[in-house]
Structure 1
């Protein structure tokens, strides 16, 4: 499964590393642009830099830094042995694919410049 975005931008420290993302394509569902739990236009939050819109500290509660909006989920979280563990929200959750109660074993996030040209390795 994959989610690919045509536009991906991270702002400066002065803007709390806000994420701007758009142009979804893929077969995993667009969890990053959900109006309630998505990450687009959200600042990056960690346990000691609570920049999310929630009254809770999402990064602390969900065990990972991310571009939180309302303590949804993202690609950072605990590795849980049981994909349907009751603490699944502390795991890696991509809710548009498997819902809130399923945690992934791993995730990969790859970023390349829009003008990327694949070379021959020389």
Structure 2
């Protein structure tokens, strides 16, 4: 299981992680009764399938829409932008 511990260190995007456990299609580690990775179409550090605050592995919509009948499945980071993002890069570095 992949865990993530995020400390917000400035910038203007804010902290939109809602869980520390990564859920995938074959590894349901979120707190929801459903598998959020299957429901939303992407693996991510989900807590619940509804009311998520981020999903950088989501679906790109060529509109400002970030929803489908399944919920928030667009590329989304709530504390920075309230619309679907076109692309993202997630950069990770060691603290020390």
Q: TM-score range by the shorter chain?
A: 0.7 to 0.9
**What secondary structure, in the 3-state scheme, does the structure 1 residue paired with 2:22 have?**
coil
Tell me, yes or no, if the aligned pair for 1:47 and 1:57 is still in contact at 8 Å. Answer: yes
CA drift of 1:24 comes to: 3.1
Match of 2:84 in 1: 103
- The structure that is strand-richer by fraction is 1
Match of 1:25 in 2: 10
Q: Larger C-alpha radius of gyration, 1 or 2?
A: 1
Q: TM-score, normalized by length of structure 2?
A: 0.80
Q: Distance in 2 between matches of 1:86 and 1:113?
A: 34
Structure 1 unmatched runs, 5+: 1-15, 33-37, 116-122
Count how many residue pairs are aligned between Structure 1 and Structure 2. 91
CA drift of 1:86 comes to: 4.2
**Higher-RCO chain (CA-CA 8 Å, sequence separation at least 6):** 2
2:43 is the alignment partner of 1:65: yes
Tell me, yes or no, if the aligned pair for 1:89 and 1:103 is still in contact at 8 Å. Answer: no
**What secondary structure, in the 3-state scheme, does the structure 2 residue paired with 1:19 have?**
coil
Q: How large is the RMSD of aligned CA atoms in angstroms? A: 1.8
- Deviation above 3 Å: which 4+ runs of structure 1? none
- The structure that is helix-richer by fraction is 1
